[in-house]
Amino acid sequence: MTPTEPTEPQGPQPAVEKPAVRQSPENLPPGKDVVAPSSTTEGGETTIEQPAVGVRTGMFGVPDTGDTSGYGGLVKPVVFPGAAQRPYGGWFDLVADGLDGLIEKVVIHRGEITFHVHRDHLLEVAGKLRDDPALRFEFCSGVSGVHYPEDTGRELHAVYHLLSMTFNRRIRLEVSCPDADPHIPSIVAAYPTSDWHERETFDFFGIIFDGHPALTRIQMPDDWPGHPQRKDYPLGGIPVEYKGGTIPPPDQRRSYN
């Protein structure tokens, strides 16, 4: 199948690299707990920083003097990468053209492109990505869940990794849903391989994929209460005692954040 644009280059193309400072929240100047939405102009291109959805302190270890990791004083805002502006460069624009009007936001982070899609448009986007001869994303290699407990209204995210074998392109789709209404349409009809992946994401995060043929737990026992990969799920564990010495369970010795 020939692509719609005859001038389009074939085969693998180098990913579009952008300066790391502008793209990576890890490299923000210290002390910025909350970054207000603002337009900054760097290098002739305009990006919009997103507000922080939380603050992360420390690395491992107890919060006070018991921390032996050396990172106890670390304070880091949880900031999403800013939305990218056109032109995205390379084949990114071509894919974005095919999805025009269905995308909430496009993020280019470390040379990889992520399309944020509202859950109402997910089925349409998935259908286009698979069937449009200019896009041809034949393969969905997985559905991942992410839990951002402080991102109010968008607590649960489902991330789809798509591969176009024809053009050797990889993109991500990111869909969010609130914790109070954890419903996302299932894309099993378009990508049958996501059957078990959606079951796993449901099992671990509690996202309900509407339209899935048999949405049951796949990893945990059938009667398991709760969804273990959510941030607020307790790690469990028992205190270990031996000859008078007692060691508390790991989640009371360390903070896993």
Which residues are at the interface with other proteins (CB under 8 A)?
Answer: 219-221, 224, 228, 234-238, 240-245, 249-250
> Which DSSP string corresponds to 136-191?
---EEEEEEEEE-TTSTT--EEEEEEEEETTTTEEEEEEEEE-TTS-EEE--TTT-
Distance (Å, rounded) from C-alpha 238 to C-alpha 254?
Answer: 14
| 42 versus 241: smaller Cβ distance to other proteins | 241
Contacts of 97 (CB under 8 A, 6+ apart): none
| 165 versus 235: smaller Cβ distance to other proteins | 235
| 94 versus 218: smaller Cβ distance to other proteins | 218
| 9 versus 226: smaller Cβ distance to other proteins | 226
Q: How far is the CB of 133 from other proteins (least distance, A)?
A: 44
| 14 versus 234: smaller Cβ distance to other proteins | 234
Which residue, among 121, 85, 129, 126, has the nearest Cα to 102 in the 3D structure? 121
Q: How far is the CB of 233 from other proteins (least distance, A)?
A: 8
Q: How far is the CB of 232 from other proteins (least distance, A)?
A: 13
Q: Which residues of 136-156 are buried (b: 16+ CB within 10 A; e: fewer)?
A: bbeebebbbbbbbeebeeebb
| 116 versus 147: smaller Cβ distance to other proteins | 147
Helix (H, G, I), strand (E, B) or coil at 100: coil
Helix (H, G, I), strand (E, B) or coil at 90: coil
| 64 versus 223: smaller Cβ distance to other proteins | 223
Q: How far is the CB of 221 from other proteins (least distance, A)?
A: 5
Which residue, among 170, 169, 172, has the nearest Cα to 12 in the 3D structure? 169
Q: How far is the CB of 215 from other proteins (least distance, A)?
A: 18
Helix (H, G, I), strand (E, B) or coil at 209: strand
Q: How far is the CB of 61 from other proteins (least distance, A)?
A: 17
Q: How far is the CB of 14 from other proteins (least distance, A)?
A: 39
| Chain centre distance of CA 61 | 26
Q: What DSSP character marks residue 36?
A: P
